[in-house]
Homo-oligomer: A and B are copies of this chain.
Amino acid sequence: MIHLEYPAWVDQVATIGAVYATDADKMRLAIAVARRNVDEGTGGPFGAAIFESATGRLVSVGMNSVVRGNNCTLHGEMVAFMMAQQRLGSFTLAAPGMPAHELATSCEPCAMCLGAVLWSGVKRMLCGAARDDASRLNFDEGPVFPESYAYLEARGIAIVHNVLRDEAREVLERYRANKGAIYNA
């Protein structure tokens, strides 16, 4: 049996249903989730959030929960997908009749999460920090190649890189300064 709950601080950072109008607003939330996760010691320095594209309404957030959950799959993006799909009662965010959804992630996804982006049903992805920013902390990002992004784009997923990259990177540096665990070095 698998069981995962959000850390208690989530409601202080994010309000489900609130409107995050711009790409910067959306990314600022993903980064805030990552930062709080570091400061509270509840996981790695990665946060994510899912929004309705047309309205900017927040559907879910996700924070790295690998160590807390004893579960290697619980990266920030994965938690955001799981929680959004749970809330909507659907294994895809692109079910008939649903509005389009998009993901903001505080760092370019690892190979696992990039694959999950495809299965999640989101139509757009905003990335904050770059793969290299995570690699500098010795986080391995896995087998992600330029062709991997092209594969998603060919299936209709729009991808925007380097959204508030400096702010996103600052959280990674904060984690390093705190000597946080590198669970997949």
Contacts and interface: CB of A to CB of B under 8 A. Distances in A.
Q: Quickly give the copy total for this chain.
A: 2
A1 interface: yes
Interface in A7-53: none
A73 interface: yes
Interface stretch (A126-134, A138-146, A164-172): A138-146
A72 B81 contact: yes
Contacts of A4: 1-3
Contact of A69 (B6, B91, B119): B91
What range describes how many residues of A lie at the interface? 35 or more
Contacts of A140: 118, 155
A67 interface: yes
A120 B71 CA distance: 8
A111 B148 contact: yes
Contact of A115 (B83, B111, B152): B111
Given A2-B2, A71-B85, A73-B78, 20 more contacts: A1-B3, A1-B86, A2-B79, A70-B85, A71-B81, A72-B91, A72-B116, A72-B119, A73-B73, A91-B183, A92-B183, A111-B148, A112-B115, A114-B143, A115-B143, A118-B143, A143-B152, A145-B145, A145-B147, A145-B148
Ranked nearest first, the 6 interchain pairs of A and B with the lowest CB-CB distance are A112-B115, A111-B115, A143-B151, A143-B148, A72-B119, A2-B4
Contact of A3 (B3, B120, B121): B3
